[in-house]
């Protein structure tokens, strides 16, 4: 069980063969690494499963390998075109999750020097096509963690800035709190060769291009997103988790965020968010335990609008009205303006 989806294992993965599992996408959501928030977003799980299937099947036509097998309806595994009604269950190939050891807040990744195949690469790769106001880039620049030069820019960026060339960022995946890495650090901890690292970046660019093209058809800008990759049994790259959804990406319509970023925007105005920031500064490993406040639920009408955005994006990208009585995206955004 994760903060937003559950995993049912049908067959365990080994060092030389993949397992089989089912993702059960829930209506839970998480922001700022808190884990499960106090309320749920109706239909969110099914909308993500359907949209994720759409992108996995598009990747397959491009010759890009993934762990996707199909969607599950009536306990049968089917392709998106065969599904008759929304489902929140997806069958996937399972790889091993080999975790680094941690002693005194220091992570040891030496195990990845010995592992060769069929495991999750312990990285999150983030592509950035533009820099929305909520991008972590601005916080990292302000705190001196990075410079504009590190981003390939010749001067300080501004919110909503579109990038001529997408930036690829990388962070840890299996630590208690994710931390950004340089690409040389990423290659070192994962045991990848220079060629493998170059191929990994090329793969991420292709996935980014697909998502950008698909969402541009419904008038949305693909600002940024995260992608997870594994090695299969033959040490080939395999796209895992899920891609192209409103949980993995940030999109904008004009200046309006279109993803769970909407919830982040709302919560940034609360005392709870300030308490989270204070706790993270005190202890990056145990911040949640010492945080002095817990989040309140979203206002009911705002929560319904967020649900409508998830459903409308899935309807409009896939070209099928999976969710009934959902207004067009442009009409939903007019209502969202009252809250953010």
The tens digit of pLDDT for each residue in 263-319 reads 988 999 999 999 999 999 999 888 999 999 999 999 999 999 999 999 999 999 999
Q: What's the start-to-end Cα distance of the chain, in Å?
A: 32
Rounded-to-integer distance, Cα 262 and Cα 252, Å = 10
Residue-level pLDDT at 56: 98
- At 60, the pLDDT band (50, 70, 90 cuts) reads very high
Instruction: Using pLDDT thresholds of 50, 70 and 90, give the confidence band for residue 107.
Output: very high
Would you state the pLDDT for residue 1?
A: 57
Residue 48: phi, psi to the nearest 5?
-70, -40
Ranking 222-231, 309-318, 329-338 by mean pLDDT, the lowest is: 329-338
pTM: 0.91
- The pLDDT confidence band at residue 134, using thresholds 50, 70 and 90, is confident
- In the chain, where the domains are located: 5-336
> What pLDDT is stored for residue 185 in this prediction?
96
Q: Are 227 and 127 in contact (CB under 8 A)?
A: yes
User: Mapped to the 3 state alphabet, what secondary structure does the chain carry?
Assistant: CCCCEEEEEEECCCCCCCEEEEEEECCCCCCCCCCCCCCCCCCHHHHHHHHHHHHHHHHHHCCCCECEEEEEECCEEECHHHCCCCCCEEEEEECECCCCEEECCEEECHHHHCCCCCEECCEEEEEEEEECCCCHHHHHHHCCCCCHHHHCCCCCCCCCEEEEEEEEEEEECCCCCCCEECHHHHHHHHCCCHHHHHHHHHHHHHHHHHHHHHHHCCCCEEEEEEEEEEECCCCCEEEECCCCCCCCEEEEECCEEECCHHHHHHHCCCHHHHHHHHHHHHCCCCHHHHCCCCCCCCCHHHHHHHHHHHHHHHHHHHCCCCCCCCCCHHHHHHHHCCCC
The predicted pLDDT at position 216 comes to: 96
CB 151, CB 157: distance < 8 Å: yes
Percent of the chain with pLDDT over 90: 83
- % of residues, the chain, pLDDT over 70: 99
The two three-digit tokens of residue 326, written as one number: 């959902």
Average pLDDT rounded to a whole number, residues 52-61: 98
pLDDT score, position 340 = 73
Q: Are 287 and 276 in contact (CB under 8 A)?
A: yes
User: Cα(148)–Cα(297) distance, rounded to whole angstroms?
Assistant: 37
Q: What mean pLDDT is predicted for residues 86-93?
A: 98
Q: What is the mean pLDDT of the chain?
A: 94
Residue 188: pLDDT band (50, 70, 90) is very high
C-beta atoms surrounding 90 within 10 Å: 25
Residue written as tokens 């990845």? 112
Least confident among 98-107, 181-190, 270-279: 98-107
Specify the CATH superfamily of domain 5-336.
ATP-grasp fold, B domain (3.30.470.20)
Whether 203 has a pLDDT exceeding 60, the answer reads yes
> What is the separation of C-alpha 141 from the centre of its chain, rounded to a whole number of angstroms?
22
Position 2 scores a pLDDT of 66
Predicted confidence at residue 4, as pLDDT, reads 85
Phi, psi of 274 (to 5 degrees): -60, -40
């Amino acid at each position: 069980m994760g903060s937003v989806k559950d995993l049912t294992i049908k067959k365990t993965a080994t060092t030389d063969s993949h397992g089989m599992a089912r993702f059960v996408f829930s209506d839970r959501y998480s922001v700022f690494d808190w884990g499960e928030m106090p309320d749920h977003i109706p239909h969110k799980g099914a909308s993500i499963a359907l949209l994720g299937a759409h992108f996995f099947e598009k990747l397959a036509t491009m010759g890009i390998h993934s762990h996707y097998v199909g969607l599950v309806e009536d306990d049968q595994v089917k392709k998106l075109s065969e599904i008759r009604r929304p489902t929140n269950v997806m069958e996937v190939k399972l790889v091993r999750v080999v975790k680094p050891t941690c002693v005194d807040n220091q992570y040891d990744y030496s195990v990845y020097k010995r592992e060769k195949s069929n495991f999750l690469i312990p990285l999150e790769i983030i592509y950035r096509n533009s820099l929305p106001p909520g991008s972590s880039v601005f916080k990292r620049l302000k705190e001196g963690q990075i410079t504009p030069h590190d981003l390939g820019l010749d001067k300080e960026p501004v919110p909503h800035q579109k990038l001529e060339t997408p930036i690829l960022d990388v962070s840890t995946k299996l630590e208690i709190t994710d931390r950004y890495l340089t690409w040389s650090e990423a290659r070192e901890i994962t045991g990848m060769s220079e060629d493998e690292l170059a191929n990994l970046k090329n793969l991420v660019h292709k996935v980014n291009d697909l998502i950008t093209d698909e969402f541009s058809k419904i008038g949305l800008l693909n600002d940024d997103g995260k992608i997870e990759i594994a090695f299969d049994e033959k040490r080939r790259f395999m796209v895992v988790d899920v891609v192209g959804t409103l949980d993995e990406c940030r999109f904008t319509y004009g200046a309006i965020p279109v993803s769970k970023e909407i919830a982040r925007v709302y919560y940034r105005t609360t005392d709870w968010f300030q308490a989270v920031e204070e706790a993270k500064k005190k202890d990056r490993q145990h911040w949640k335990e010492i945080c002095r406040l817990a989040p309140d639920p979203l206002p009911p009408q705002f929560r319904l609008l967020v649900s409508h955005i998830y459903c409308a994006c899935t309807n409009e990208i896939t070209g099928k009205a999976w969710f009934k009585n959902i207004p067009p995206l442009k009409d939903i955004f007019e209502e969202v303006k009252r809250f953010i």
